[in-house]
Amino acid sequence: MKKSAIIGLITIAICVGFLVSLNADTSNYSTFTEAAKDSREFHVMGHWEKEKGTYYDALKDANHFAFYMRDEKGEVKKVIYSGTKPQDFERSEKLVLIGKMNKDVFHASKILMKCPSKYNNDLVEIQQDGQVKQYK
């Protein structure tokens, strides 16, 4: 076998190994149950439980924000974020939390919010009987 062919095969093997290692570190969205099984950081997607409210007292501790979130599987957990309350938190449609579970509480290091688009003012729902219901 020629040296150039051997060098080419080694280069391809190194590139494949590099791509596999990059893919191993990417994280998919998890649930609170999955996050409780491991001590590494997880991305958990869900919705804020508005009925349970929030806790934020800037005068007492400006870097403590707590609330409850329902994940994609329907499990509700308390979330503690060591930072200031995000602006327009109440307007968010969906949340993505990055953090770790500690006992029964999720400690978020980052909060990503999906806020309603200013271009989606009119929402349309097609009901089972075929009628269209419009929300404004």
- Domain boundary assignment for the chain: 41-116
Encode pLDDT of 33-84 as tens digits. 888 898 888 999 999 999 998 999 889 988 899 999 999 999 999 999 988 8
H-type helices in the chain, by residue range? Answer: 3-25, 32-36
Confidence of residue 128 (pLDDT cuts 50, 70, 90): very low
Summarize the confidence of residues 82-99 as an average pLDDT.
Answer: 87
Q: Looking at the domain 41-116, which fold is it?
A: OB fold (Dihydrolipoamide Acetyltransferase, E2P) (2.40.50)
pLDDT for position 117: 64
Whole-prediction pTM: 0.65
